[in-house]
Structure 1
C-alpha cells in the first residue's frame, strides 16, 4: 500500500513538473518586451469599411501611424518567395479571386484589388517604408505548415529595419525558428480556445489552448482571445510566470476597458480606443 502511494505521489509530482516545463515562457524577463505593452495595436492597420480603407492596406497602415497607434499585421510568402501583407490563406474574401496566396507570384497578386478599391496587396517592404520606425510593429507570421521559410525571408527583410518590432504566431515552430536564429527578437505565442471548426486536430487543440506548447518556442508574451480572459491556462501564465499578455481582437470601448484590467495591452479594430485606458490600467 505504501509503495502504491509513493508511486502515485511520484506520478503526481512528475505531472506537475511536466506541466510547468511545457507551459513556461522564456524565463529571463525582458525589459524591451515591456515597451511593447505601452502601445495599443491597430489590428491589420487602422482600416475602415466606411472610409473604404481595406485591412492590411497601405492607407490603413498610414492612418494608424498618423493616429499614433502601433500596428498588428500579417505576413506570408508568395509562390516566388516574396513577403506580402495579407491575412487569409485564400484570396476569396478580400480579392474575390479563387486560390491560395502562396500559389500566386507577387506580380500576379499586384494585379488584384482589395475589396473592390483602388488599393493592392502590399509587399512587406512597402509597409516598412511607410511606418519607418514611427510606431512599433506586431508581425503575425502565417505558417500553415511545418515549413519555416517565411521566418527566414521575414528575418532577411527586417535586417536593415531600425524601427521597433516583435513577432507572433499561432504556430510554435515560427517562435522556435526565431528562438534559434534571432533570440534577441521579442516573440509571442498566439492562442485561443480552439474549436473543431478551426481545422486543428483534437490533441493540438487541447495542448495549444492550454499553452502547453510553450516549450517549443518559449515566448516572451502571450496573445490570447480576450473572450477567454478567465481561462485557467492564461491566468496561470500571469500569476506564476508574470508573462505579458495581449488581448485580441477587441472591437468596442466597454470591452477595451475590461481588457485593460486583465491584459497588459490590446489589439483592436472597428473603433478608436481611448489611450487613457492604458494609463488607467
Structure 2
C-alpha cells in the first residue's frame, strides 16, 4: 500500500463542514456560495460527493434531494445536467460537480472530500463513485484529501489514486445514530480496524467520542486526528484536547 501524508495545510486552519454555509438560510451546504465564503475566510473546506445517474461525482451530502432542494427523489436517479438545473431551498441554482468545485477552489485552501457510502452497509459494493473522484482529482495541483466512513471506498481510492492522502471518517457507532447498520458491523467499525489495511494517514472522528480507545491508540502513533462536527467555541476547546484540527459549522472559529 502506497504511504500517504496529510499536507500541513489541513491542520493549519479549521475546516468548514460542507463549506461555510449558514445553516442553509442563504448559503446552502456544499454549494458554491458556501465554498466562496470559506475561501474568503481562509478556512479549509470539507465537501461530500454523491453519484449522478450518468456517473458524475456531485457535491451533495444527502441521498435524497428533498431536504435541500425544491424537488424530491434520489440524487442518483438524475443526470448531472438535470441536477445542475435544480433549485435549492435557499434560492441558489445547480448542484455542482466535483470538477466545478475543484476549479472554483483552485488550490487556494485545502479541500477534504468525503465519499458517501454507496453500498448501504459499509460493504465492498463500491467503485463507480471512487473512479469519478479519482478522475476528477487526477490533475488537481492544490492540497486535496479523500475520506469515507466505508473502508472499502478508502481502499479503492488507494488503488485508483495512491498518492492522494486518504483517511477514515470514524465514529463510536451508537445504535441510535446508525440504525441501518447491524450490531456486528457497528462493533467492528468502532474499533477502526481498517486503518492500516487502507493505507490511511488520518481519521476524522465524531467530536463527542474523541476519548474512544482506538482514537487514543492512533494518536499515540502520531496519526493526524481530525473531528466532526464542532458547533461552538466551547466544544472546539474540548475537542482540541485530542484533535489536531476540527471540522466546524453553526459558528465561525476565531
TM-score calculated relative to the size of structure 2 = 0.91
Q: Is structure 2 residue 141 aligned with structure 1 residue 152?
A: no
The structure 1 residue matched to 2:208, chosen from 215, 223, 227, is 227
Runs of 4+ in 1 over 3 A off after TM superposition: 26-30, 32-35
Q: Is structure 2 residue 162 aligned with structure 1 residue 183?
A: yes
2:122 is matched with which residue? Answer: none
Spell out the pairing of 1:19-98 with structure 2 (5 A cutoff).
Answer: 30=5, 32-49=6-23, 52-98=26-72
More helix by share: 1
Q: Deviations over 1:214-270 (max 9, x none)?
A: 24413100110010011112111112x221100100000111122122100000011
Q: Is structure 2 residue 85 aligned with structure 1 residue 106?
A: no
- The answer as to whether partners of 2:226 and 2:244 remain within 8 angstroms in 1 is yes
2:182 is matched with which residue? Answer: 201
- The answer as to whether partners of 2:154 and 2:167 remain within 8 angstroms in 1 is yes
Q: Which runs of 5+ in 2 are unaligned?
A: 120-124
Q: CA deviation at 1:205?
A: 0.4
**Further displaced range: 218-227 or 173-182:** 173-182
Q: CA deviation at 1:144?
A: 2.0
The structure 1 residue matched to 2:96, chosen from 99, 122, 125, is 122
Q: Deviations over 1:77-123 (max 9, x none)?
A: 10011121000111111114332111111122123211241332112
Q: Is structure 2 residue 236 aligned with structure 1 residue 256?
A: yes
Spell out the pairing of 1:128-147 with structure 2 (5 A cutoff).
Answer: 128-145=102-119, 146-147=125-126
**Secondary structure of 1:143's aligned partner:** coil
Q: Which runs of 5+ in 1 are unaligned?
A: 1-25, 275-281
- The answer as to whether partners of 2:151 and 2:168 remain within 8 angstroms in 1 is yes
Total equivalences in the alignment: 247
